[in-house]
Structure 1
Amino acid sequence: MMYWNDHDMGGWGFGLMAIGMLLFLGLLVVVAVALGRYLGQLPRQRPPDWQATPPPLPEQLLAERFARGEIDADEYRHRLDTLRSGPAGPASG
């Protein structure tokens, strides 16, 4: 007996190979999409130099204005005393 298709792939072989390749490519796409979604949900880390700094205190702002020459010494002392005396009471009326 002679087997003519002894070393060749038959019709079923080509079909199964094509289906297997499509399944493999589909699996690669699914893995890539899942990885993209996972990485997109990770919390983004802020750079170390971007730290939330507290706002300057009113006394610091006043001292900076005095240092720049925006206010004179008398006004600086008056405003500093006002800041340190605490909040003003309710307006009586």
Structure 2
Amino acid sequence: MGVGGWGFGLLVTGVLILLVLLGLLLTTMRRGSAAHWTRPGPGPAAWGGSGGVSGDGNRSSGGVGDGAERILGERFARGEIDEEEYQRRLRVLRGGPAGAG
């Protein structure tokens, strides 16, 4: 008894289908993990941090206050402080007067 005309062909076809599915799965997993680590999002540039553009359009110098400005920006984005408080604290961090103006 032989395998017949279709036996070997179906075996090869099944193996090829499994290899293609495995390749698609691995490619999807690889792209998914790479996208997780390289996905752009809000960061220091959006908050006027190191090398970014600040809210007034000037390039940031990358100084010591950048970390504080970033944290202040995060607090404002989360709604912990209002715009007036954000602007007042930002002026203080940048060496300006603390009063409203």
| TM-score (ref. length: structure 2) | 0.43
Higher relative contact order (CA 8 A, sep 6+): 1
Alignment TM-score, normalising by the size of structure 1: 0.46
Structure exhibiting the larger radius of gyration computed from Cα positions: 1
